[in-house]
Structure 1
Amino acid sequence: MRIDPTEARRPSRWALALTAALAMASTATATATAAEDDASAEGIALFESKIRPVLIDRCYSCHSAEQGEAKGGLALDTRAALLEGGDGGPAIEPGDPELSLLIEAIRYDSFVQMPPNGKLPPETIAAFERWVALGAPDPRGDEPAEPSADASPLPDPGIDGQAARSSWAYTTPSRQEPPEVSDPSWVRSPIDAFILSRLDEAGLSPNPEADRRSLARRLAFDLTGLPPDPAEVDAFVIDDDPEAVERYVDRLLASPHFGERWARPWLDLMRFAEDQAHIVGNDTSLCYPNAYTYRDWVIAALNDDLPYDAFVRKQLAADLIDPDDEQGLAALGFIGLGPKYYRRGAPEVMADEWEDRVDVVSRGLLGLTVACARCHDHKYDPIPTADYYALAGVFASTVMYNLPLSDEAETSEDGEAKKPEDALHIIKDDEPRDLNVLIRGNVEQKGPLVPRHFLSVLSEEADAPAPLGGSSSSGRLELAEAIVDPSNPLTARVFINRVWAQLFGRGIVATPSNFGALGAPPTHPELLDDLASRFVSEGGWSLKWLVRELVTSNTYRQSCDITDAHRAADPENLLLGRMNRKRLPVESWRDAILTASGALEPAVGGPSINPSDPDAGRRTVYSEVSRLELHPMLARFDFPDPNAHSDGRSRTTTPLQKLFVLNSPFVTRHAERLAERLSQEAGDDPAARIALAYRLLFARPPAATEEAIALDYLGPSPDPSRWAAYAQALIASNEFLMID
């Protein structure tokens, strides 16, 4: 785009039109296909866990082929029938709940009210709305295939756990011999050999190493979530020592900001929040005002490089491992900060809470959608309904508990703090109990009693799965031990894949929380196996070891340039012949603004902040997170819904995002502060100020053309408002938002 300099001297909003020319921004954004894939994976999981069971239990008696002629001409037992609808037209409009007759009916918003014998709970209606908004993905075929009403609640004898072990996901990972490659000199680590081998097969060559400034910025954001210090970048650029990258990486790994950056993906995974989705009036008795203590524990554990196996054990059973470690009990927020629902004594309410616990543990730690087996044997994976209730029994044997933070706290007879603000939000063992299978998930239709045990397919003997707990304990500790047992084929793979996705923009398995049949197969299975084996045996389950292993590889160091050969042969870059350009998450974007303006407060830990407050200088990881109403700034920039486990960020580009950059008091105030900093540190020389702005925001000097355009826009005697508008234009640029 060509900008007329006379036009550029209009009021400051025109400064934003200069974005592309001023920053020579990258125009790459996430493709619609990636967003659609994310929505489809989430939608299918939602359908299996929340939608299908309700359709079977509350709808099929009137609206299925099994019952003969469907009422109103509407059948809901196949994908095609749902889309075709009945006498009133299509039942759903994928992507638009407001235009969907089914949503209107279950809301009781029209003369058609379904189910007619009682309105669905608000959380169930919300699940249907979310599912339709995601495009209503439906894995069912076009022919009815549901079991009859008298179907057995017992595990399907056709599930063969032993046979399932032949799948790549259920075989124990082992060391793999790095393959021979065309250019052994390019192989800096075993990772590179596996990557280059696949590139050789495709007739492609890897990209050269990124320039030092790009690499410094990439490493700083990937490891600490913050932009690099300009002086450190300058020193890194001229450091010709062969180990310069390794030394730079080690400094970043030692930073206290490492834990802040890596805590956030974990908090997404465990659905961190400080309140509940449903609050009645001013009743905040089920909220978590001290949830930040769990967040602080996660940050400290990651900074201390607590081995991942211990990290998991403590979050499931810290009180059983070391009950005298009062600070360590905060780790129990992993379960203790989960959703709580009103009417908690009602069986159906507790069943929903147990499902949340099973889901976050199974998808988060094992990459399996076990909650899909709550109402029926898993349709795609070797997980019988009995396995679901075996795990749910562990959480049914615990209670959520407000542990008093001090002796002064007012307590109830059982020692629990009466006021949430006086409490640490954890769990503890209750009376151990096994659960009955609930036929089709209906709490009023009990099937056989299921002893607590680990997943059959992950047990040494599929027909005799490992027992969890007994008459004196919930089984949480035994569950934790089973999850982190080195023979478990999934735990290390799943964690490594999550870390890989954070650093490379896409996992080796593109569905990080679903390693099952509906998940994506690994692009480099031998590489994933080798990393998983070495992570445990060589790395001692260390996250810092793993991150260092990945970012010092030549694969990670590649430039992001796209060649014609790569575009033609591997447009999605599945073979990693180049580095993926990544977009900053909202946390790093906001933190980078604070850093550039000089307003970032370096203190680690503490209570939550309002991230859009211009005077809140703490990092965005400390933002308040609400299940009831997610903060608008976070929601606008793809922060995940904290009501459920999230395995990654959606990537959207919307006008509202740019309007926020244009009009937000937070951005405009920090643009003014950045302009003030340029004046204070670079003096009266406009060229020096421009150079400092580029070093702070982009870790590079401006090109001659960029400097000329900026000087022309600023004019001979620019006032502070002109400099603030210029700073805001740079903040609004794509280059500031992207990592090369």
Structure 2
Amino acid sequence: MHFTRLISRSVSLRLAVSLCLAVSFCLAVFCLPASANEQQDQQIEFFERKIRPVLVQHCYECHSGDSDVIQGGLRLDHPDAMVRGGDNGAAVMPGEPEKSLLLAAIRYEEMEMPPDGKLSEAVAQDFEKWIALGAADPRANDSLPQSNPASDIDWDQARAFWSFQEPIKHQPPSAKATDWAAGKIDAFVLHRLESAGIAPNAAADRQTLIRRVTFDLTGLPPTPRDVERFLSDDSPTSYQRLIERLLSDPRRAERWSRMWLDVVRYAEDQAHIVGGNDSLTYPNAYRYRDWVISALAGDMPFDQFIKLQLAADLIVPDDQDAHLALGLLGLGPKYYRRNDPTVMADEWEDRIDTVSRGLIGLTVACARCHDHKFDPIPTSDYYALAGVFAGTEMFNRPINDTVEKQTGKKKKGEAKKPQDAVHIVREGKPTDIAIQIRGDATNKGPLVERTFLTVLSKQPIPLSNGSGRGDLANAIADRKNPLTARVIVNRIWMQLMGAPLVATPSNFGKFGSRPTHPQLLDDLSVRFMENDWSLKWLQREIVLSSTYRQSSDIDPAKAAIDPENTLRWRMNRRRLSAEGYRDALLAVAGRMETSIGGVSIEPDTKDSRRRTLYSKISRLGLNPLLARFDFPDPNAHSAKRHETTTPLQKLFLLNSPFLIAQSTALSDRIPITSQSHQSAIQTAYQTLYARQPTRQEITLGENYLLDGSQQAWPQYLQALLISNEMFMID
């Protein structure tokens, strides 16, 4: 349903009412929550990383079944026992942190637990978040042993799991409607559809298709001229030529850089800053962002893209520009009390989590305090990787030779001020570290040599050359690594198709989802590597498929068989991200500044004209526009975006000076006179939606504009800009 059909046919109805109705409708339609299974998986992962380790380290001694005396009658080693509580009542009230005695005790508000010292407010906030989200706790189903030492793991059996097997190419399966399949992707999809008794949707109309693929590849809407040129070209290769033009567009690299920056939790400061102390900020972080844009614009092979971000200083030691890639590690969370064992252990965990979930789709950080509860990752493997980062130093590299440097023993060669530096990493002292019992940095276990994950190594792969970063980079980017290609192929597929093949893009372990089309994923991954790990090749392969070109129309009969569209019988209708929507506003208003790269901007000021990619990203205080429209938390790796509906979104759309500035600029770009209402309305629809308005839509617009007020035209355009259709890709 188009937005203007919601406007009352009564000319006397005020625009404010129309806007409210429009916003309520569009937000209700396109802001669909993450599935219950996804939310549960995320909450359990949060428990494993943030809650269970604290309970084990600080609470189990007095409050578990293994305690000599269960203090206060309270056990904290089982979810039912926590809710049942002890002498003072329930310790945890799921969904109600203010009523949960455990949280009050952690904050020393009533009782004081643990008694040997108050835990940090950051820990308390983790517990508050966990309880507020429902206190998800997988321990009720723990039939696994509490310890899973490497010697007890049957590694042959562990490596038999689907994601630990090397992907192989597959012959296209047989299908009946062979004329529909444009390539191998379609053959795999069609086989599954026909097996379920479903026919694929017809192709989307050409107007829909050019808007879809232009947004998908460049993050921007097509211009009316682009649409006219494509619609008037009836040659059989017109779509292929459109794809090549879009793949060559410099703006493609900007659109796809944002996906990668989510993965590596890009930010320019820290969540905790004391007063005006800027020592932990990264004013020149944008230089890493510019490196990513440049690498993607040049279609750098993805394996090389990974290697440089982990070890550019070791791979190309004399290429200072390439060293900007080390921002993946250097721009992570950094804490005060440098060199404190607990602080450094927390930083190592961040690096391990970002690298493992982001690059190989495994939740290795869950093994910091105990052997992984689901995957064959013993604690020894975690600390084998931690040793790599323990031997790596954070480094404020001067941006030029004139910068004042420090000369202290550990600061030699560093810039004194963060404003004069790029924050990257360099080699420190090669270090093997000891297992930290229950994650306690002061409770040391046996020393662990630096090696790659055992389950991914038929023979131990040592990470012993210097810090081990170069060896780690090679191990991750090795073609024999069964995960790396699969993970990035799945991420690209998710961006283009609206849903991933593996529903948990950063968890390919046993607790993650299984692929909906395993042979398709494997075949595409192998061919991606064979084509020089080219992301441009991969994007082309997907958007040229008949699967991608399907309409998003919902057929009730097909939906009854496959309501979640897991078999891909239609294209998924998608909501634009915060960046996509804001960039579209700038583009249609003719106000976008098109220069590539450079310093960060504030995206919500009315005079801001740069693409949203260039927004300043703060861990301490994320820009309100970004936060309001579901930008991910930059404190941690983000697997995918989630969508919410809030009153503040509606208020922003109605009142934002930025949005009003775009509607005013658009009204100047598309002038209107008393004799040109119809022509102006048609131009507006072509510019915003890549289509002609219906006769009814023209009539509704003309009726509204009859009052002739000076503000009627920009207000009408604002209504179109905040419409359902403007937010969505069909």
Q: TM-score range by the shorter chain?
A: over 0.9
CA shift digits 1:595-615 (9 cap, x unpaired)? 111111111111111010110
Following superposition, the deviation at residue 126 of structure 1 comes to: 2.7
CA shift digits 1:154-190 (9 cap, x unpaired)? 9342212221121110111111011000101111010
The question of whether the paired residues in 2 share the 8 Å contact of 1:78 and 1:142 is answered with: no
Which of the numbers 601, 610, 616 marks the counterpart of 2:602?
610
Structure 1 pair 85–239 and aligned structure 2 pair: CA distance change class (3 A): farther
Aligned match of 2:189: 195
Pair 1:132-2:131 in alignment: yes
Aligned match of 2:373: 379
Q: Report matched runs for 1:208-357 at 5 Å.
A: 208-357=202-351
Letter in 2 for 1:244: S
Distance 2:482 2:698 in 1: 55
Pair 1:533-2:526 in alignment: yes
Pair 1:29-2:30 in alignment: yes
Letter in 2 for 1:113: E
Structure 1 pair 259–132 and aligned structure 2 pair: CA distance change class (3 A): farther
Letter in 1 for 2:233: D
Following superposition, the deviation at residue 644 of structure 1 comes to: 0.5
Following superposition, the deviation at residue 124 of structure 1 comes to: 2.1
Following superposition, the deviation at residue 53 of structure 1 comes to: 0.9
Which of the numbers 481, 493, 498 marks the counterpart of 2:491?
498
Structure 1 pair 576–436 and aligned structure 2 pair: CA distance change class (3 A): same
Pair 1:162-2:156 in alignment: yes
The question of whether the paired residues in 1 share the 8 Å contact of 2:671 and 2:680 is answered with: yes
Distance 1:213 1:91 in 2: 58
Pair 1:731-2:721 in alignment: yes
Distance 1:84 1:247 in 2: 65
Aligned match of 1:439: 437
Q: Report matched runs for 1:304-703 at 5 Å.
A: 304-413=298-407, 414-461=412-459, 465-470=460-465, 473-537=466-530, 539-679=531-671, 685-703=676-694
Distance 2:228 2:91 in 1: 61
Distance 1:20 1:582 in 2: 17
Q: Report matched runs for 1:114-129 at 5 Å.
A: 114-129=113-128
Distance 1:726 1:107 in 2: 52
The question of whether the paired residues in 1 share the 8 Å contact of 2:79 and 2:139 is answered with: yes
Instruction: Classify the secondary structure of the residue corresponding to 2:152.
Output: coil
Aligned match of 2:103: 103
Structure 1 pair 720–114 and aligned structure 2 pair: CA distance change class (3 A): farther
The question of whether the paired residues in 2 share the 8 Å contact of 1:492 and 1:532 is answered with: yes
Following superposition, the deviation at residue 710 of structure 1 comes to: 1.1
CA shift digits 1:51-109 (9 cap, x unpaired)? 1111011011222222266433432111222233344443334345444333233223x
The question of whether the paired residues in 2 share the 8 Å contact of 1:92 and 1:100 is answered with: yes
Distance 2:517 2:267 in 1: 35
- Relative to the length of structure 1, the TM-score reads 0.94
The question of whether the paired residues in 2 share the 8 Å contact of 1:38 and 1:650 is answered with: no
Structure 1 pair 477–286 and aligned structure 2 pair: CA distance change class (3 A): same
Letter in 1 for 2:114: P
Instruction: Classify the secondary structure of the residue corresponding to 1:630.
Output: coil
Instruction: Classify the secondary structure of the residue corresponding to 1:141.
Output: helix
The question of whether the paired residues in 2 share the 8 Å contact of 1:27 and 1:734 is answered with: no
Consecutive unaligned residues in structure 1, runs of 5 or more? none
- Tell me how large the CA RMSD over aligned residues is: 2.0
Instruction: Classify the secondary structure of the residue corresponding to 1:545.
Output: helix
Structure 1 pair 95–608 and aligned structure 2 pair: CA distance change class (3 A): farther
Following superposition, the deviation at residue 35 of structure 1 comes to: 4.6
The question of whether the paired residues in 2 share the 8 Å contact of 1:583 and 1:739 is answered with: yes
Distance 1:200 1:571 in 2: 16
Letter in 2 for 1:636: R
Aligned match of 2:16: 13
Following superposition, the deviation at residue 146 of structure 1 comes to: 7.2
Distance 2:110 2:513 in 1: 43
Instruction: Classify the secondary structure of the residue corresponding to 1:352.
Output: helix
Letter in 1 for 2:723: S
Letter in 1 for 2:237: E
The question of whether the paired residues in 2 share the 8 Å contact of 1:694 and 1:702 is answered with: yes
Following superposition, the deviation at residue 383 of structure 1 comes to: 0.6
Greater shift in the superposed pair: 185-194 or 131-140? 131-140
Distance 1:722 1:543 in 2: 46
CA shift digits 1:316-365 (9 cap, x unpaired)? 01111112111111100000000000001210000000010011011100
Greater shift in the superposed pair: 40-49 or 316-325? 40-49
Instruction: Classify the secondary structure of the residue corresponding to 1:426.
Output: strand
Pair 1:704-2:705 in alignment: no
Structure 1 pair 3–219 and aligned structure 2 pair: CA distance change class (3 A): closer
Instruction: Classify the secondary structure of the residue corresponding to 1:436.
Output: strand
The question of whether the paired residues in 1 share the 8 Å contact of 2:8 and 2:18 is answered with: no
Consecutive unaligned residues in structure 2, runs of 5 or more? none
The question of whether the paired residues in 1 share the 8 Å contact of 2:144 and 2:373 is answered with: no
Structure 1 pair 406–683 and aligned structure 2 pair: CA distance change class (3 A): farther
Distance 2:656 2:89 in 1: 43
Structure 1 pair 26–107 and aligned structure 2 pair: CA distance change class (3 A): closer
Structure 1 pair 134–258 and aligned structure 2 pair: CA distance change class (3 A): farther
Distance 2:81 2:303 in 1: 47
Distance 1:517 1:490 in 2: 13
The question of whether the paired residues in 2 share the 8 Å contact of 1:78 and 1:144 is answered with: no
Aligned match of 2:90: 90
Following superposition, the deviation at residue 244 of structure 1 comes to: 1.3
Structure 1 pair 95–698 and aligned structure 2 pair: CA distance change class (3 A): farther
Structure 1 pair 93–723 and aligned structure 2 pair: CA distance change class (3 A): farther
The question of whether the paired residues in 2 share the 8 Å contact of 1:65 and 1:144 is answered with: no
Distance 2:464 2:348 in 1: 17
Greater shift in the superposed pair: 81-90 or 722-731? 81-90
Distance 1:683 1:356 in 2: 61
Instruction: Classify the secondary structure of the residue corresponding to 2:609.
Output: coil
The question of whether the paired residues in 1 share the 8 Å contact of 2:284 and 2:419 is answered with: yes
The question of whether the paired residues in 2 share the 8 Å contact of 1:19 and 1:730 is answered with: no
Distance 1:26 1:702 in 2: 22
**Aligned sequence identity (%):** 53
Distance 1:544 1:625 in 2: 27
Following superposition, the deviation at residue 49 of structure 1 comes to: 1.7
Instruction: Classify the secondary structure of the residue corresponding to 1:305.
Output: coil
The question of whether the paired residues in 1 share the 8 Å contact of 2:397 and 2:414 is answered with: yes
Structure 1 pair 144–308 and aligned structure 2 pair: CA distance change class (3 A): closer
- Relative to the length of structure 2, the TM-score reads 0.96
